[in-house]
Structure 1
Amino acid sequence: MPKTPVTFRLSDSLLEAIDAQVEATSSNRTDVVVKALKQFFGLVESDRFLASLDVIQSLTERVTYLEQVSIGTEKLSSDVLHSLTDVNYT
């Protein structure tokens, strides 16, 4: 899912609360703010669904890549074997 960088002005107390949550969760400011906004707007469940779609897409791309590598490896092995059997030992 594409993400757009944005800039906000926050009070010092709000920034301190965000930073405290960052420390408590070993996270970063972006993740803390995004999670809080999603909870506020009720987007948590739909985000899990979208994250699942992202994972499925990523896995599909990896499987496709591995299939292509496997086909290439089989062709290479076949070509090498063929060239070894074509050697003239006379």
Structure 2
Amino acid sequence: MPVFHYAVTWPDAPVFRVLNWGWVRRIGVYPYTMYLIHFVIIQALVRNGLAMGSVPLILLSFTLSVAVAALVYEVVEKPFRPLRARLTGH
């Protein structure tokens, strides 16, 4: 928790400046979807014989998780944002 506190209170500190880069902020929108989908992607890669070692598996599953999360964000989350605001009041 202290790391998150300092990252929010001192975003311009050199160690936290990377979190303000555009592509890092964009990926920051996807974590929950990535969390939900990553295990399915890893299992699909392993079962289809596409896991050729742990490093390629990690890189490929991360890339696919980000891609699926971006797709879900654009196709599901963004279009339903007004409905969410209307139903929750924020």
Q: Is TM > 0.5 for Structure 1 vs Structure 2?
A: no
Larger Rg: 1
Question: TM-score, normalization: structure 2?
Answer: 0.32
Q: TM-score, normalised by structure 1?
A: 0.32
